[in-house]
Amino acid sequence: MPIDPQQAKEKSRQIWDSFAPLYDKYITSTTSQAAQRVVDLAALQKGQRVLDVATGTGVAAFAAAEKVGPTGYVIGIDLSEGILSIAQERASAQKLQHVELRPMDAEKLQFSDKTFDAATCCLGLMLFPEPPKALADMRRILKPGGRVALAVWGSPDRMIMGSIFELLRKYLPEDIPLLPPQFAFSVPGAIESALQKAGFVEPRAERGFYQMNWATLETGWEIIRLGGPVGTLVQKLSIQQQEALRKEIFGLLKKYQTSAGIEVPFEMVFATAKRP
């Protein structure tokens, strides 16, 4: 049965509101590397206006703010007010007067046409219920010649999330297709095609490989159990099923255990395109 997009968004908002502190503690350090690459690909100039979609803890928005300088302006939006509160604390601590953070649906951007010089979205697009809507709206709010820069999840066989979805499929076969939608843009040519369909031109893509570092097996389980799309699925399991899954996750994570902790593989696909 198809999932209602509005229900999916509300569930996502609740998940990210509760997951925000854990995300900030254990994942922001990895996403900040990806965010810097996204901002570099956006080729920002001093004085430009930038929209950062699914800004999360604000790492891409803050990197963009440094590029455009005080004569520019950056707006970061996110569905989760919980995670935005962390971003706001950081913006205030850094005294970033030219950064604004707003709660907003990425598929219903509340801005006029041709408002921004660039749009960025770091690891958010693949989590939206209807990514084509988000891309089309990003195109709408860009000025002619404006650039979009994105990062999405990479191939499931090159990141820990693919193995986790495989384990979950045993418990929830009807909920998890062979290629979960979160990995749709990892297929070669997929993100370029999506950008073209949304009306962008000159799409280009590249891949990057990163690691997330988790201190212990239990830390890894907490992140998996509570976070993002995986956390939504784990919550569907019974207590007994969650305990069985926890043991399997521990077995999986032990493959990546080092003297420094758990070093988790994470491939990302980066893409850019222009509004004609």
- C-alpha 104/C-alpha 239 separation (Å) is 34
- The answer to whether position 258 is within a domain reads no
Whole-number mean pLDDT of the chain?
94
- C-alpha 139/C-alpha 129 separation (Å) is 18
- Residue 30 has a pLDDT of 79
> pLDDT (tens digit, 9 = 90+) per residue, 158-203?
998 899 999 999 999 988 888 888 999 999 999 999 999 999 999 9
User: Per the structure block, which two tokens stand in for 84?
Assistant: 């935005």
> pLDDT (tens digit, 9 = 90+) per residue, 45-103?
999 999 999 999 999 999 999 999 999 999 999 999 999 999 999 999 999 999 999 99
> pLDDT (tens digit, 9 = 90+) per residue, 37-60?
999 999 999 999 999 999 999 999
- The answer to whether position 127 is within a domain reads yes
- C-alpha 150/C-alpha 272 separation (Å) is 6
- The answer to whether position 53 is within a domain reads yes
Any idea which residue has 């902790």 for tokens? 261
CATH of residue 93's domain is: 3.40.50.150
Q: How far is CA 224 from the centre of its chain?
A: 15
**SS3 (DSSP) at 62:** helix
- C-alpha 57/C-alpha 16 separation (Å) is 11
269's enclosing H/E stretch is strand 261-274
Angle CA(186)–CA(192)–CA(197) in degrees, nearest 5? Answer: 120
- The answer to whether position 144 is within a domain reads yes
**Is the confidence at residue 268, as pLDDT, over 90?**
yes
Task: State which residues form the domain around 112.
Answer: 5-156+178-213+264-274
- The answer to whether position 229 is within a domain reads no
- The answer to whether position 250 is within a domain reads no
Q: Given pLDDT bands bounded at 50, 70 and 90, which one contains residue 2?
A: low
- The answer to whether position 231 is within a domain reads no
**Is the confidence at residue 1, as pLDDT, over 50?**
no
> pLDDT (tens digit, 9 = 90+) per residue, 221-247?
998 888 777 888 998 999 999 999 999
Cβ count within 10 A of residue 254: 11
Structurally, the chain folds into a number of domains equal to 1
> pLDDT (tens digit, 9 = 90+) per residue, 116-146?
999 999 999 999 999 999 999 999 999 999 9
- Residue 7 has a pLDDT of 86
- The answer to whether position 87 is within a domain reads yes
